[in-house]
Copies of this chain bind each other. A is one copy, B any other.
Amino acid sequence: MSDGLTRVNEAVTVVRGEEELFRRIGHLLATVTDLACAANDLATWAADHRSDELAAATVGRAAGVRIRKMYRSALLLDSVSAHELARRRDQFGAEIRITHEEINETIVIDRRLVILAGDVRAGQRSYSVITQPETVQGVMSLFETAWRSATDLAVYDAQVADIRRLAPAVLDLLSQGVKDEAAARRLGLGVRTYRRRVAELMDALGAGSRFQAGVRARELGLV
């Protein structure tokens, strides 16, 4: 260190396939107290699924176990997936948040070990397992940033997903600042109907004014 430099050997291990990954780090899941996880779909961390039994065991363990999972909003368009998410939340006490951005599959275990999913080659996905403290801290920080900008599942619930499916055009026009008259004309609707849509939207957003609705809509990534 006298040259201001430290070489770190074997700080990164690349693992091929979930089977192997699970063999390597599966035992850690039994004692984890802080699990941060990001995924684009429910299938990615199959190892995580298999560890449901382990996770279930955590329910009986002392409180203070924190499980955070972050998924893409697209996942909620599938009602089966949405239901599964809610199940995990209720059963394991996991905090689940929804983000609108694509996000690299990532797991951070107890702020000490990072797993980053890589490309799929020869049918097997590769995983980088990182233990080097500074690197883990850095990745954790980036995860925290994404986490803070994501929305809690309880807020971003099926109702909101519905809104997005039903009224994207209304949201667009509102966010463009278009007046009701013009917006209705552009949608081929009566002004009354358009305003009904807006009222439904505001109701669903729990907003008492259009300004507030705008804030919430943006919060939820609807616009």
Chain B proximity mask over A171-187: 1 for CB below 8 Å, otherwise 0 = 00011111100000000
Contacting pair B177 A12 (CB below 8 A): no
Distance (whole angstroms) from the CB of A223 to the closest CB of chain B: 6
B-side contacts of A9, CB under 8 Å = 9-10
B-side contacts of A176, CB under 8 Å = 212
Residue of B13, B17, B130, B139 touching A7 (CB-CB under 8 A): B13
Contacting pair A145 B217 (CB below 8 A): no
Contacting pair A14 B128 (CB below 8 A): no
Question: Which residues from 95 to 127 on chain A have a C-beta closer than 8 Å to any C-beta of chain B?
Answer: 99, 101-104, 106, 116-119, 124, 126-127
Distance (whole angstroms) from the CB of A204 to the closest CB of chain B: 14
B-side contacts of A141, CB under 8 Å = 102-104
Q: Is the interface of A mostly helix, strand, loop or mixed?
A: mixed
B-side contacts of A219, CB under 8 Å = 218
For chain A, the count of residues having a C-beta within 8 Å of the partner chain is 69
Please report the C-alpha to C-alpha distance between residue A8 and residue B207 in the assembled complex, in whole angstroms: 53
Chain B proximity mask over A202-215: 1 for CB below 8 Å, otherwise 0 = 00000111111111
- Indicate whether A11 reaches chain B with its CB closer than 8 angstroms: yes
Distance (whole angstroms) from the CB of A34 to the closest CB of chain B: 17
Contacting pair B174 A211 (CB below 8 A): yes
Chain A positions near chain B (C-beta within 8 angstroms): 1, 3-17, 19-20, 24, 99, 101-104, 106, 116-119, 124, 126-128, 130, 132-135, 137-139, 141-146, 148-149, 174-179, 207-219, 223
